[in-house]
Amino acid sequence: MELEPVKALFLLSPRLTALVTTMGKNGKVNAAPYSFVGPLSINPPLCYVSVGKEGKDTEAFALQTKQFVINLVSEEFAQKAINCEAKLERGENELEKFGLHMTASKNVTVPSVKEAKATIECNLSEVINPKDSDHILLIGRVVGGKCLFEKNGKPDMDSMNLIMHVAKGHFRKVGKRIDLKRNK
């Protein structure tokens, strides 16, 4: 079938679902779900969160304190994490409102989500405004993170019950592991 451009774009699915935490300069904490999130560079370790330009709290807070935390969403708290999409008064804490909890991060002042089994702590290094686009990219310099499940000294992505976002209210679980030989 031929696809119109936006439908073709969404072939880039599913993507990990993240609950992104940020903090305003007044110390208020914000949390919202994002799935346009990905790795960008290894050296230095950079990642991005693509944020719609309609004046989201995540952008405003990240610009104020220059930090954010990507908290990966597991099935156990998925509905509560997705509830955090609600547009509350700026500064009202979505985590408290929807039954989730904050815990101190190790390398940034912005708190992490206690329920998250894996987190990525970032300093905001740059904001990119792609020409004529409706999203901006928050570029994060990864300064640390945590993962509650490990196997052979590496994060065990199979044990965290992470959920992937397809589109709208459609999600999937991380699927079966497949090992392939690589040419280098």
Ligand X SMILES: Cc1cc2nc3c(=O)[nH]c(=O)nc-3n(C[C@H](O)[C@H](O)[C@H](O)COP(=O)(O)O)c2cc1C
Q: Which stretch binds ligand X (CB under 6 A): 27-35, 102-110, 123-131, 151-159?
A: 27-35
Smallest gap from Cβ 36 to ligand X, in A, equals: 3
Retrieve residue 97's tokens: 């409102």
Q: Which stretch binds ligand X (CB under 6 A): 25-33, 62-70, 104-112, 152-160?
A: 25-33
Contact 171, 14 (CB under 8 A): yes
Contact 163, 74 (CB under 8 A): yes
Spatial CA neighbour of 59 closest among 95, 13, 22: 22
CA–CA gap between residue 114 and residue 96 (Å, rounded): 11
CA–CA gap between residue 183 and residue 180 (Å, rounded): 10
Please report whether residue 34 would count as binding ligand X according to CB under 6 A: yes
Please report whether residue 32 would count as binding ligand X according to CB under 6 A: yes
Smallest gap from Cβ 52 to ligand X, in A, equals: 3
Q: Which of 21, 23, 47, 57 touches ligand X by CB under 6 A?
A: 57
Tell which positions 63-122 bind ligand X, by CB under 6 A: 82, 85, 87
